[in-house]
Structure 1
Amino acid sequence: MYTPRAFALDDLPELHQLIQHTRLAQLVTFGEQGLLASHLPLLLHPSEGPNGTLHGHLAKANPQWRDLQNGSEALVIFAGAEAYISPAFYPAKAEHGKVVPTWNYIAVHAYGTAEVFTDAERLLALVSALTDRHEGNRAEPWKVSDAPADYIDGMLKAIVGFALPMERLIGKRKLSQNRSPADMAGVRDGLAASVDVRDQTLGQFIPQGVAE
């Protein structure tokens, strides 16, 4: 990921926070079938390894797990908030007109080589943890144990788990830091006034005060 210094995010706790807040990641590998990608919910174990470890699973029918098993380096993309930035947001437009559109966004790319596993006990712990995380805010959370045990046993036979230590992490926050403080304020106000909640969300991340 091309990351100019002004947009680089290097703080490990903040990288972990962005990973945790991204509900669906993209796993990309390269193998005998070329590039493959899957969209997956993942669990982050921050204390496993220097940069943390990602845990997830793929359908056994999905050939991508073989890339992981064969030692292919994996790229996991965590795409955060994003928004189109109109030149109309910049006070500089009225001053000299030398402005163009751009896109602001937050993203984290993680690289590593995964361990693949099919042990039923380990898979059960993984899917239970994933379920508990995403059911946690419901008034009556569903649990894996709510389903018949023989049904769950059959489902576990149809998936392959993996643990991916993050060997490299690249974070990027493109939030108009290369613009003047006045232009940054204009971006904040412009996004806040949007009827699109995605714009409003990204606007909350625009830095206050002097540009970096």
Structure 2
Amino acid sequence: MTERTTEEISAQVLAAGASLPEVGPQDEFAVQIADQIESFLIALKAVAAEGNPGTGISMLLLEISQLLLAGARLGAQIDFTPTTDYQPDVGPDADLDELRLRLAELFGGVDTYSFVFDPYDPEQVESQLSDDLTQVAADLENGLRHFNLGNTAEALWWWQFSYVSSWGNLAGALLNALLSIVAHDRLDVEYTGELDRVAAANEMLEGSPDPGA
């Protein structure tokens, strides 16, 4: 049997997605996606404001997992098409600088992490949890403003496009990094990387509640 190429597999997956029923602009699907995105943004801002790493990381693990489910639902749909060639004006972008600074303070010594953005073109990228969470929030918030102003088709198009091009990969990398922090704390995993980051992760979660209590 001849081994299929990555391009052939991708074409088959896309063809399967194209057979899914089209989602209308006012469909319940759009409402569900918007609700999940709004829930994530509210939780992210609450975690940053509270500044408690022990409970905050657990909350972010849950919220990012649910956000990725919403993203996967977007990715499985056929391409959404905006109603106009130009993006409607929804006002200035949200000012998320304070959110980013609060998150950087929350993560402290484990804010810097590394990941592979594209596993088919592997190159290790170093970034900050606070920066990437803020970037995800910015992508989502832009679409939410369109949705709240009634530009549902534009919101779905933007969320789907930015999921595939940006926040989907970032959210996956963030989830893996946060899970690594929890694993080092709870499992006392042997680790041969940068020990100062592991020590910071352990110190960060010392105050987290015992899940078995």
* Same fold, TM-score > 0.5, yes or no: no
Is the helix fraction higher in 1 or 2?
2
What TM-score, normalized to structure 2? 0.22
Which structure would you say has the larger Rg?
1
Q: Which one has a larger percent strand, Structure 1 or Structure 2?
A: 1
TM-score after normalising by structure 1: 0.22
